[in-house]
Structure 1
Amino acid sequence: MADRILIRDLRLRCLIGIHPEERETAQELRIHLTLFTDIRKAAASDFIGDAVDYQKVTEHILDFTETSSRLLLETLIEDMARMILVNFSAVEALQLRVEKPAALPLARFAGIEIERSRADFGI
């Protein structure tokens, strides 16, 4: 079983949605991410170069969403999962959840959660 790196409640803004008013102003999204990797080499060396740098993962996610303009959360989450797995070769698989707090007035959020591996994208 792989080790896990956790990033929880990453808050960012993104143009997302099918309604005209959603296309005018970036909306808040919350990201929850679990990265499956083997941390033993980094633990033994105590060297960041041997680790999955979660600061860099976060920067990639922020850059990706700031330049993103998707209609559907389904498209955004699938593209985000692919981007992470392509850019971070030590990540074997991931669980990714994207929450859209403003989607439903009577709910805390609407969201999607997926699990993807490198094999899912032919990587």
Structure 2
Amino acid sequence: MDKIFIEDLLIRGVIGVSERERASKQDIVVSVVMYANIRKGAETDDIQYCVNYRTVAKAIIAHVESTARYTVEALANDIAAICLDMPGVEKVEVKVEKPGAVRFSRSVGVEITREKQDGK
């Protein structure tokens, strides 16, 4: 499988369990690695045979900006489902971070891996 990646997509959204966290949008950093066979796209130089990372990024941004999740785990799972819905994507690795959420830490978050046969 080939890899298509988007690194450090900075999005503003509501995430967290405390009232303070839910009162206003905060920075959320998302990175994804999608696995797909892009050989035909490489051979033909035709975008219809590629995973369009711009389309994926727009879908992720729209979701994060419009939802208000309590946990980064749930948000990561949402993002994995978005990626797996893209034509050709068979597997995805998603990393969701909350910069500055823990004192003295640059960032905290989760990384998950999902495949189409995982039930979505």
Match of 1:59 in 2: 58
In 1, are the aligned partners of 2:15 and 2:69 still within 8 Å (CA)? yes
Unaligned 5+ runs, structure 1 = none
**TM-score under structure 2 normalisation?**
0.96
In structure 2, what is the equivalent of residue 120 of structure 1?
A: 118
- Separation in structure 1 between the aligned mates of residue 45 and residue 64 of structure 2, nearest angstrom: 31
How many residue pairs align between the two structures? 120
Aligned counterparts, 1:42-57, within 5 A? 42-57=41-56
Write out the 4+ residue segments of structure 1 that deviate beyond 4 Å after TM superposition: none
Contact 2:99 2:107 (C-alpha < 8 Å) held by counterparts: yes
Conserved? CA contact 2:34–2:83, under 8 Å: no
* Partner in structure 1 of residue 30 of structure 2: 31
Task: Check if 1:75 corresponds to 2:64.
Answer: no
Q: Verify: 1:94 aligned to 2:86, yes or no.
A: no
Following the alignment from structure 1 to structure 2, what is the Cα–Cα distance between the partners of residues 94 and 104?
27
What's 1:106 paired with? 104
Q: Report Cα offsets for 1:43-99 as digits up to 9, x if no partner.
A: 11111111100000000000110111111111111111112212x030010111011
TM-score normalised by the chain length of structure 1: 0.94
Q: SS of the counterpart of 2:82?
A: helix
